């Protein structure tokens, strides 16, 4: 069995929704356009939408597309535009090609599709979903212009605790170990951003016996991090202290070339935020103080400063848990929960169950409760049979 089939077969919630969609066909006659990380778990989601009668036109996200996922989807009748790329212009052309098919519904990830839709809108767009924090921040100011139901999966309670908190932390830790093969015990780890994802990253490294510090411009977040048992040094002090620095802030330029002067020798930098702009890798590599750069191992690029300090950058600043050798991303169960929300939200939009006033809003409570109950019911099924 291939890894994709293992993942698809392990998505219990999506499997049950697919079975229901076989008869209800909520997307019959409708085209769903998407630009999302193309990897085995999104394959399970897109196949569920197909089972619901949708024609699916998809491209990937920048820097995370997995070729086997693309090939699998194409074999199953999904129209996949383009392939793996880290070139923003090429990616932009793929997104525009998805939109040129004028989908009835958009499943967006990072706001890429809705932002471009507004450049040349068409009348029959019913609405859609947005997966991420970064996308919500981009789309919220555009509410009036979008004017259609748009549900933000990230802003559901389930995604916040199941994926952002629990799963991102685990998979970033798993990725650090897998890519660097370095110890975490006693290591000084600095986390930029103490939102749901940053909290999970911080606690996962703490549970792996690292000493963890947090930098966040929000004093409430710093206070919370302190009460949770993390160090909260000033930014400059934290930079020189860190042996590992991880950005997960949903912001641009969290670490830039200006920070090179303050970093310790051998520091490892990684990004877990959605866009590869949290660490300005290009700016660092072209800074006048850099005298050399080389690949140290798959997924690790080392830049050398004129004073001989070395800075190791993981996966070119792209999301560390979806890149590097054999990337796995977040746990299957956490993504099954989030993608069950996706499938049920897209169904609600397709069936006109979400009023047009609900633009860039969290997932309706009734959908969250349905998904939570479905997951919990499955746990009962796992108990050993009574004699
Ligand atoms: N890697 C993954 O699998 C994965 C999964 C889900 C979300 N994400 C992404 O992770 C990022 C964070 O998501 P979240 O839900 O935790 O966001 P959030 O908005 O809840 O928290 C972000 C935190 O970062 C802080 N911040 C902003 N700018 C900062 C800076 N320059 N330095 C330090 N801290 C800063 C904010 O004050 C806030 O506390 C987003 O880009 C999101 O899309 C990644």
Residue 386 has pLDDT above 70, yes or no: no
Tell me the Ramachandran region of residue 336: left when phi exceeds 0, alpha when psi lies from -120 to 50, beta otherwise.
Answer: alpha
What is the 274 CA–ligand 1 centroid distance (Å)? 8
**Residue 64 Cα distances to 36, 48, 229, 287, angstroms:** 9, 21, 34, 26
- Please check the confidence at residue 300 and state whether its pLDDT lies above 90: yes
Which of 74, 314, 15 is closest to 178 using CA atoms?
Answer: 314
pLDDT tens for 323-375 read 999 989 999 999 999 999 999 999 999 999 999 999 999 999 999 999 999 99
CA of 216 to the centre of ligand 1 (A): 10
pLDDT over 90 percentage in the chain: 91
Other beta carbons within 10 Å of 187: 18
For the beta carbon of residue 319, count every other beta carbon within 10 angstroms.
Answer: 28
CA of 273 to the centre of ligand 1 (A): 6
Q: Name the band, by pLDDT with cuts 50, 70 and 90, for residue 204.
A: very high
| Gap from CA of 109 to ligand 1 centroid (Å) | 15
How far, in whole angstroms, is CA 159 from its chain's centroid? 11
Where would I find the beta strands (DSSP E) of the chain? Answer: 31-35, 55-59, 79-80, 105-108, 127-130, 150-152, 188-192, 211-215, 244-247, 267-271, 290-297, 300-305, 310-314, 359-362
Residue 250 Cβ < 6 Å to ligand 1: yes
Mean pLDDT throughout 309-314? Answer: 98
Select from 63, 132, 193 the residue to mutate for testing ligand 1; criterion: most ligand atoms less than 8 Å from CB: 193
pLDDT tens digits, 106-155: 999 999 999 999 999 999 999 999 999 889 999 999 999 999 999 999 99
pTM greater than the 0.85 cutoff? yes
Chain mean pLDDT for the chain? 95
CB atoms within 10 A of CB 202: 26
Q: Nearest-CA neighbor of 358 among 150, 157, 123, 105?
A: 150
Is the model's pLDDT at 220 over the cut of 80?
yes
202 CB less than 6 Å from ligand 1? no
- Count Cα neighbours of 143 within 13 Å in the Cβ-side half-sphere: 12
Tell me the pLDDT tens digit for each residue of 59-109.
998 887 889 999 999 999 999 999 888 899 999 999 999 999 999 999 999
| Atom nearest to 132 CA in ligand 1 | 43
Q: Is 133 in the pocket of ligand 1 (CB under 6 A)?
A: yes
112 lines ligand 1 (CB under 6 A): no
Which of 368, 374, 358 shows the shortest CA–CA distance to 129? Answer: 358
- The single residue listed with the structure tokens 């040349």 is 120
Of 130-134, 204-208, 236-240, 280-284, where does mean pLDDT reach its minimum? 130-134
């Amino acid at each position: 069995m291939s890894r994709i089939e293992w993942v698809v077969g392990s998505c219990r919630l999506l499997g049950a929704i697919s079975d229901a969609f076989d008869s209800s066909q909520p997307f019959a006659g409708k085209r769903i356009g998407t630009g999302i990380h193309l990897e085995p778990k999104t394959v399970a989601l897109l196949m569920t939408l197909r089972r619901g009668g949708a024609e699916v036109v998809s491209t990937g996200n920048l820097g995370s597309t997995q070729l086997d996922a693309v090939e699998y989807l194409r074999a199953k009748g999904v129209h996949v535009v383009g392939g793996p790329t880290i070139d923003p212009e090429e990616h932009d052309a793929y997104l525009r090609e998805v939109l040129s098919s004028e989908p009835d519904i958009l499943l967006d990830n990072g706001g890429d599709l809705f932002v471009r839709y507004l450049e040349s809108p068409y009348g029959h767009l019913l609405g859609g979903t947005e997966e991420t924090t970064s996308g919500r921040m981009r789309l919220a100011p555009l509410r009036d212009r979008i004017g259609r139901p748009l549900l933000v999966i990230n802003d559901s309670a389930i995604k916040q605790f199941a994926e952002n908190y629990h799963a991102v932390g685990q998979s970033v830790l798993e990725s650090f170990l897998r890519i660097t093969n370095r110890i975490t015990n006693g290591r000084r780890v600095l986390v930029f951003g103490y939102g749901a994802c940053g909290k999970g990253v911080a606690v996962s490294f703490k549970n792996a016996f690292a000493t963890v510090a947090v930098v966040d411009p929000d004093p409430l977040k710093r206070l919370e991090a302190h009460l949770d048992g993390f160090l909260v040094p000033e930014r400059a002090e934290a930079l020189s202290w860190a042996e590992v620095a991880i950005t997960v802030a949903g912001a641009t330029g969290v670490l830039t070339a200006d920070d090179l002067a303050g970093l310790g020798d051998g520091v490892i930098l990684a990004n877990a935020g959605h866009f590869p702009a949290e660490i300005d890798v290009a700016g660092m590599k072209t800074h006048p103080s850099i005298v050399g750069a080389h690949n140290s191992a798959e997924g690790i690029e080392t830049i050398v400063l004129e004073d001989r300090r070395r800075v190791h950058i993981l996966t070119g600043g792209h999301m560390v848990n979806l890149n590097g050798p054999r990337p796995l991303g977040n746990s299957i169960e956490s993504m099954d929960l989030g993608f069950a929300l996706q499938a049920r939200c897209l169904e609600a939009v397709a069936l006109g169950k979400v009023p047009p006033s609900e633009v860039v809003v969290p997932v309706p409570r009734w959908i969250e409760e349905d998904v939570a109950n479905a997951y919990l019911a499955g746990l009962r099924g796992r108990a050993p049979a009574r004699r």
